[in-house]
Protein backbone atom coordinates (compact mmCIF):
# COMPACT_ATOMS: atom_id res chain seq x y z
CA UNK A 1 0.00 0.00 0.00
CA UNK A 2 1.46 3.35 -1.07
CA UNK A 3 1.00 6.04 1.60
CA UNK A 4 1.64 9.76 1.31
CA UNK A 5 3.02 11.29 4.51
CA UNK A 6 4.62 14.39 5.98
CA UNK A 7 7.52 14.22 8.43
CA UNK A 8 7.39 16.89 11.14
CA UNK A 9 9.10 17.64 14.43
CA UNK A 10 8.44 19.74 17.50
CA UNK A 11 11.50 20.32 19.70
CA UNK A 12 13.05 17.18 18.25
CA UNK A 13 10.02 15.00 19.03
CA UNK A 14 9.38 13.68 15.51
CA UNK A 15 6.21 12.51 13.80
CA UNK A 16 4.80 10.93 10.69
CA UNK A 17 1.66 12.89 9.76
CA UNK A 18 -1.15 11.14 7.87
CA UNK A 19 -4.10 12.89 6.22
CA UNK A 20 -7.14 10.66 6.66
CA UNK A 21 -9.74 13.36 6.09
CA UNK A 22 -10.82 11.85 2.77
CA UNK A 23 -10.16 8.16 3.32
CA UNK A 24 -9.31 5.98 6.31
CA UNK A 25 -6.11 4.02 5.89
CA UNK A 26 -7.10 1.36 8.46
CA UNK A 27 -3.50 0.62 9.37
CA UNK A 28 -2.64 -2.26 11.70
CA UNK A 29 -0.39 -1.92 14.77
CA UNK A 30 2.32 -3.64 12.75
CA UNK A 31 2.03 -1.05 9.98
CA UNK A 32 2.28 1.79 12.49
CA UNK A 33 5.41 0.13 13.90
CA UNK A 34 6.81 -0.12 10.36
CA UNK A 35 6.28 3.59 9.72
CA UNK A 36 7.95 4.48 13.02
CA UNK A 37 10.94 2.17 12.44
CA UNK A 38 14.08 4.24 11.88
CA UNK A 39 15.83 1.46 9.96
CA UNK A 40 13.15 0.02 7.69
CA UNK A 41 10.41 2.69 7.69
CA UNK A 42 10.29 6.47 7.96
CA UNK A 43 11.28 6.82 11.60
CA UNK A 44 9.23 8.64 14.24
CA UNK A 45 8.35 8.78 17.92
CA UNK A 46 4.64 8.83 17.07
CA UNK A 47 2.32 8.48 14.06
CA UNK A 48 -0.33 11.23 13.99
CA UNK A 49 -3.51 10.88 11.92
CA UNK A 50 -5.85 13.73 10.96
CA UNK A 51 -9.45 12.54 10.66
CA UNK A 52 -12.71 14.41 10.03
CA UNK A 53 -14.63 15.52 13.09
CA UNK A 54 -17.85 13.71 13.96
CA UNK A 55 -18.96 16.10 16.71
CA UNK A 56 -20.34 19.64 16.32
CA UNK A 57 -17.92 22.40 17.27
CA UNK A 58 -14.88 20.19 16.59
CA UNK A 59 -12.63 20.79 13.57
CA UNK A 60 -10.72 17.49 13.44
CA UNK A 61 -10.06 14.25 15.25
CA UNK A 62 -6.44 13.76 16.31
CA UNK A 63 -5.39 10.10 16.51
CA UNK A 64 -2.02 9.18 18.03
CA UNK A 65 -0.08 5.93 17.75
CA UNK A 66 3.21 5.39 19.55
CA UNK A 67 6.23 3.80 17.93
CA UNK A 68 5.18 0.45 19.41
CA UNK A 69 1.93 0.58 17.42
CA UNK A 70 -0.35 1.27 20.39
CA UNK A 71 -2.92 4.07 20.35
CA UNK A 72 -2.57 6.65 23.13
CA UNK A 73 -4.61 9.53 24.49
CA UNK A 74 -2.40 12.60 24.09
CA UNK A 75 0.77 14.06 22.54
CA UNK A 76 1.49 17.72 23.23
CA UNK A 77 4.37 18.26 20.80
CA UNK A 78 2.32 16.47 18.17
CA UNK A 79 -0.60 18.86 18.77
CA UNK A 80 1.61 21.77 17.75
CA UNK A 81 2.61 19.97 14.56
CA UNK A 82 -1.04 19.04 14.00
CA UNK A 83 -2.27 22.62 13.60
CA UNK A 84 0.65 23.56 11.34
CA UNK A 85 -0.01 20.48 9.21
CA UNK A 86 -3.71 21.15 8.68
CA UNK A 87 -2.92 24.76 7.73
CA UNK A 88 -0.10 23.85 5.35
CA UNK A 89 -2.17 21.11 3.73
CA UNK A 90 -5.08 23.50 3.15
CA UNK A 91 -7.42 21.54 5.42
CA UNK A 92 -8.38 24.71 7.31
CA UNK A 93 -7.80 28.46 7.20
CA UNK A 94 -8.14 28.87 10.98
CA UNK A 95 -5.25 29.89 13.24
CA UNK A 96 -6.88 28.04 16.15
CA UNK A 97 -8.53 24.65 15.78
CA UNK A 98 -10.57 22.55 18.19
CA UNK A 99 -9.26 19.01 18.09
CA UNK A 100 -10.69 15.89 19.68
CA UNK A 101 -8.33 13.30 21.15
CA UNK A 102 -9.03 10.12 23.10
CA UNK A 103 -8.75 12.14 26.30
CA UNK A 104 -10.82 15.19 25.34
CA UNK A 105 -10.65 18.43 23.36
CA UNK A 106 -7.54 20.59 22.96
CA UNK A 107 -6.99 23.87 21.11
CA UNK A 108 -3.66 24.45 19.31
CA UNK A 109 -3.11 27.98 17.94
CA UNK A 110 -0.58 29.37 15.47
CA UNK A 111 1.22 32.44 16.85
CA UNK A 112 2.52 35.44 14.85
CA UNK A 113 6.13 34.55 15.76
CA UNK A 114 5.77 31.12 14.12
CA UNK A 115 5.48 29.16 17.34
CA UNK A 116 2.37 27.26 18.38
CA UNK A 117 0.45 27.47 21.66
CA UNK A 118 -1.69 24.55 22.79
CA UNK A 119 -4.40 24.74 25.41
CA UNK A 120 -3.81 21.30 26.91
CA UNK A 121 -6.80 21.46 29.25
CA UNK A 122 -6.68 21.15 33.02
CA UNK A 123 -4.44 18.58 34.74
CA UNK A 124 -6.07 15.60 36.43
CA UNK A 125 -5.04 14.68 39.98
CA UNK A 126 -7.59 11.94 40.71
CA UNK A 127 -5.41 8.81 40.94
CA UNK A 128 -8.21 6.57 39.66
CA UNK A 129 -8.35 8.60 36.47
CA UNK A 130 -4.57 8.64 35.88
CA UNK A 131 -4.82 5.62 36.58
CA UNK A 132 -2.56 4.66 39.52
CA UNK A 133 -3.06 1.97 42.15
CA UNK A 134 -2.00 3.46 45.48
CA UNK A 135 -3.25 0.59 47.65
CA UNK A 136 -0.94 -0.03 50.61
CA UNK A 137 1.29 2.99 49.95
CA UNK A 138 1.88 5.86 52.37
CA UNK A 139 2.36 9.16 50.55
CA UNK A 140 4.63 12.02 51.54
CA UNK A 141 2.49 15.15 51.96
CA UNK A 142 3.79 18.36 50.39
CA UNK A 143 1.66 21.55 50.12
CA UNK A 144 -1.58 19.58 50.52
CA UNK A 145 -0.50 17.29 47.69
CA UNK A 146 1.34 13.97 47.74
CA UNK A 147 4.48 12.34 46.45
CA UNK A 148 4.26 8.57 46.26
CA UNK A 149 7.02 6.02 47.02
CA UNK A 150 7.48 3.55 44.18
CA UNK A 151 9.59 0.43 44.70
CA UNK A 152 11.19 -0.69 41.45
CA UNK A 153 11.67 -4.26 40.26
CA UNK A 154 15.20 -5.55 40.71
CA UNK A 155 16.06 -2.75 43.15
CA UNK A 156 14.87 -4.30 46.39
CA UNK A 157 17.80 -2.85 48.35
CA UNK A 158 17.34 0.66 46.97
CA UNK A 159 15.03 3.28 48.46
CA UNK A 160 11.76 3.74 46.57
CA UNK A 161 11.67 6.64 44.14
CA UNK A 162 9.36 9.49 45.13
CA UNK A 163 7.07 10.49 42.28
CA UNK A 164 4.37 13.07 41.72
CA UNK A 165 1.47 11.55 39.78
CA UNK A 166 -1.00 13.29 37.49
CA UNK A 167 -2.57 13.10 34.05
CA UNK A 168 -2.43 15.57 31.17
CA UNK A 169 -4.89 13.39 29.30
CA UNK A 170 -2.16 10.74 29.50
CA UNK A 171 -0.45 9.43 32.66
CA UNK A 172 2.73 10.98 34.07
CA UNK A 173 5.05 10.17 36.96
CA UNK A 174 7.45 13.02 37.72
CA UNK A 175 10.47 12.81 39.98
CA UNK A 176 12.91 15.55 40.95
CA UNK A 177 16.59 14.84 40.29
CA UNK A 178 19.76 16.83 40.99
CA UNK A 179 21.06 16.60 37.41
CA UNK A 180 19.09 15.28 34.43
CA UNK A 181 22.30 14.44 32.58
CA UNK A 182 23.39 11.93 35.22
CA UNK A 183 19.90 10.74 36.18
CA UNK A 184 19.30 7.01 35.46
CA UNK A 185 16.65 7.70 32.81
CA UNK A 186 17.42 4.67 30.66
CA UNK A 187 17.75 2.37 33.67
CA UNK A 188 14.77 3.33 35.82
CA UNK A 189 12.60 4.88 33.11
CA UNK A 190 11.46 1.50 31.74
CA UNK A 191 10.84 0.19 35.28
CA UNK A 192 8.54 3.11 36.05
CA UNK A 193 6.86 3.06 32.62
CA UNK A 194 5.81 -0.58 32.97
CA UNK A 195 5.23 -0.65 36.75
CA UNK A 196 2.26 -2.77 37.81
CA UNK A 197 0.74 0.14 39.73
CA UNK A 198 0.15 1.92 36.40
CA UNK A 199 -2.30 -0.38 34.59
CA UNK A 200 -2.02 1.65 31.36
CA UNK A 201 1.72 2.26 31.81
CA UNK A 202 3.07 5.76 32.37
CA UNK A 203 5.40 8.45 31.05
CA UNK A 204 8.35 8.78 33.42
CA UNK A 205 9.66 12.33 33.85
CA UNK A 206 13.00 13.34 35.40
CA UNK A 207 12.98 17.03 36.40
CA UNK A 208 15.90 19.20 37.47
CA UNK A 209 14.84 22.53 38.99
CA UNK A 210 17.22 25.28 37.79
CA UNK A 211 15.20 28.20 39.18
CA UNK A 212 11.58 29.04 39.90
CA UNK A 213 11.14 29.86 36.21
CA UNK A 214 13.28 27.19 34.55
CA UNK A 215 13.69 23.42 34.66
CA UNK A 216 15.60 20.83 32.69
CA UNK A 217 13.64 17.70 31.74
CA UNK A 218 14.10 14.24 30.31
CA UNK A 219 11.15 11.90 29.73
CA UNK A 220 11.03 8.17 29.14
CA UNK A 221 7.82 7.99 27.13
CA UNK A 222 5.30 5.21 27.28
CA UNK A 223 5.63 3.13 24.13
CA UNK A 224 8.43 5.23 22.63
CA UNK A 225 11.37 5.25 25.07
CA UNK A 226 13.32 8.42 25.79
CA UNK A 227 12.55 11.18 23.29
CA UNK A 228 14.25 14.52 22.69
CA UNK A 229 11.19 16.28 24.12
CA UNK A 230 7.76 15.43 25.48
CA UNK A 231 5.16 18.19 25.44
CA UNK A 232 2.67 16.65 27.82
CA UNK A 233 5.61 15.61 30.01
CA UNK A 234 6.77 19.23 30.14
CA UNK A 235 3.27 20.28 31.18
CA UNK A 236 3.10 17.57 33.84
CA UNK A 237 6.53 18.46 35.24
CA UNK A 238 5.67 22.15 35.56
CA UNK A 239 2.30 21.44 37.16
CA UNK A 240 3.98 19.05 39.61
CA UNK A 241 6.66 21.64 40.39
CA UNK A 242 4.03 24.31 41.06
CA UNK A 243 1.96 21.98 43.26
CA UNK A 244 5.11 21.09 45.22
CA UNK A 245 5.94 24.78 45.74
CA UNK A 246 9.07 24.71 43.59
CA UNK A 247 8.03 26.74 40.54
CA UNK A 248 6.17 29.89 39.51
CA UNK A 249 3.29 29.99 37.03
CA UNK A 250 5.43 30.52 33.90
CA UNK A 251 8.33 28.17 33.31
CA UNK A 252 10.78 27.48 30.49
CA UNK A 253 11.41 23.75 30.09
CA UNK A 254 14.80 22.89 28.63
CA UNK A 255 14.88 19.55 26.81
CA UNK A 256 17.48 17.92 24.58
CA UNK A 257 15.36 18.98 21.60
CA UNK A 258 14.73 22.62 22.53
CA UNK A 259 12.83 24.87 24.90
CA UNK A 260 9.10 24.74 25.65
CA UNK A 261 7.28 27.51 27.51
CA UNK A 262 4.63 26.31 29.96
CA UNK A 263 2.09 28.38 31.89
CA UNK A 264 -0.35 27.15 34.55
CA UNK A 265 -2.33 29.48 36.77
CA UNK A 266 -3.88 26.69 38.84
CA UNK A 267 -1.54 27.22 41.75
CA UNK A 268 -1.47 25.35 45.02
CA UNK A 269 -5.24 25.23 45.29
CA UNK A 270 -5.36 22.94 42.22
CA UNK A 271 -7.94 25.11 40.48
CA UNK A 272 -9.12 23.66 37.18
CA UNK A 273 -7.07 26.07 35.06
CA UNK A 274 -5.80 24.90 31.66
CA UNK A 275 -2.12 24.35 30.98
CA UNK A 276 -0.75 26.40 28.08
CA UNK A 277 2.26 25.08 26.16
CA UNK A 278 4.16 27.10 23.54
CA UNK A 279 6.91 25.81 21.30
CA UNK A 280 8.09 25.15 17.73
CA UNK A 281 6.51 22.98 15.03
CA UNK A 282 8.43 22.33 11.83
CA UNK A 283 7.81 20.45 8.59
CA UNK A 284 10.85 18.37 7.64
CA UNK A 285 9.81 16.77 4.33
CA UNK A 286 6.99 15.12 2.41
CA UNK A 287 7.19 11.79 0.60
CA UNK A 288 5.46 8.48 -0.12
CA UNK A 289 6.29 5.01 1.17
CA UNK A 290 5.15 1.49 0.37
CA UNK A 291 3.79 -0.09 3.53
CA UNK A 292 3.70 -3.92 3.46
CA UNK A 293 0.17 -5.32 3.56
CA UNK A 294 1.04 -8.39 5.65
CA UNK A 295 2.14 -6.57 8.83
Catalytic sites, residue numbers: 75, 230
Cβ atoms of 84 and 113 within 8 Å: the answer is no
Is residue 143 annotated as involved in ligand binding?
no
Is residue 231 annotated as involved in ligand binding?
yes
Report the C-alpha gap between 3 and 44 in whole angstroms.
15
Is residue 26 annotated as involved in ligand binding?
no
Supply φ then ψ for residue 280, to 5 degrees. -80, 160
Is residue 175 annotated as involved in ligand binding?
no
Report the C-alpha gap between 42 and 62 in whole angstroms.
20
Cβ atoms of 73 and 169 within 8 Å: the answer is yes
Of 77, 148, 150, 145, the residue nearest 115 (C-alpha)? 77
Is residue 194 annotated as involved in ligand binding?
no
Beta bridge partners of 263: 250, 276
How crowded is the C-beta side of 31, counted as CA atoms within 13 Å? Answer: 14
Supply φ then ψ for residue 199, to 5 degrees. -60, -20
Beta bridge partners of 216: 208, 254
Query: Residue 87: is it exposed, middle or buried by C-beta count within 10 angstroms (0-12/13-18/19+)?
Result: middle
Is residue 77 annotated as involved in ligand binding?
yes
Kind and range of the H or E run holding 17: strand 13-19
Is residue 222 annotated as involved in ligand binding?
yes
Report the C-alpha gap between 60 and 151 in whole angstroms.
41
Residues contributing to the annotated binding site for substrate = 13, 46, 66, 76-77, 170, 203, 221-222, 231-232
| Residue numbers belonging to the annotated binding site | 13, 46, 66, 76-77, 170, 203, 221-222, 231-232
Amino acid sequence: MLIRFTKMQGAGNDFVMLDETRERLNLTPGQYRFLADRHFGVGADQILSVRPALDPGIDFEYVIHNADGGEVEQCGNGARCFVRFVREQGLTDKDTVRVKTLSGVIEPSLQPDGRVTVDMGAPIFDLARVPFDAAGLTPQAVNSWSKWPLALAGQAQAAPVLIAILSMGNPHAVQRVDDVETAPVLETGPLIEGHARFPRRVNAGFMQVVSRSQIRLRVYERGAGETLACGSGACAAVVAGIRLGLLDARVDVLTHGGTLSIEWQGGLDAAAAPVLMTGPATTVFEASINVPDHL
